Amino acid sequence: MGFNRVDAVMAVPDKPNQLWVFSNTDYRRVEITVTSSHPYPDKLILKGTIREDWPSLSDFAKIDAVMKVPDGSNEYWVFSGDRFVRINVANGEPHTDTKTYGPAPLSEWEGLTKG
C-alpha cells in the first residue's frame, strides 16, 4: 500500500535526484526526474520499515522531521516526538547509517524550546 501522508524527507547524500521519504513506520527511496514540466516523474528505488532498515533510528517508531547538519558533512538531525538523534549516512550503496549522538531530549535545542 502506498503513502497517504509524508512525515519527513531526507536527501540521499550522493544522489542529487534521490530522496528518502518517511511516513508513519515506513520509508521509501524515490528518484525524481527533472523535466521542463510539472509534475516531475518519480520512480520507486526501494521501500522498507524504519526499524528494520535504519539502525541509527532504532529508538524511533516514526520520524517527524529531518534537518541536514549545516557543516557540509553527510550528517542529519532526525526528530521524533520530543527527542532527536544525529546520524551519519555514508556515500555509496547501501548508504549505511550510524548514530553519532542521542537520542537526546528536544530541550537541548534552546532556540526551539526556550523563550
Specify the CATH number for the domain of residue 16. Answer: 2.110.10.10
Q: What is the phi/psi pair of residue 78, to 5°?
A: -120, 125
Q: CA 81 to CA 63: how far, in whole Å?
A: 8
Cell digits for 103? 537520542
Query: ∠ CA 91-80-66 to the nearest 5 degrees?
Result: 40
In a domain, 94, yes or no: yes
Model confidence, pTM = 0.91
In a domain, 2, yes or no: no
**What confidence tens digit (pLDDT) does each residue in 20-76 have?**
999 999 999 999 998 888 888 999 999 999 999 999 999 999 999 999 999 978 999
Contact assessment for residue 62 and residue 49, using Cβ atoms and an 8 Å cutoff: no
In a domain, 57, yes or no: yes
In a domain, 86, yes or no: yes
The count of structural domains within the chain is: 1
pLDDT band at 79 (very low <50, low <70, confident <90, very high): very high
In a domain, 35, yes or no: yes
Domain membership of residue 66 as a residue range: 8-113
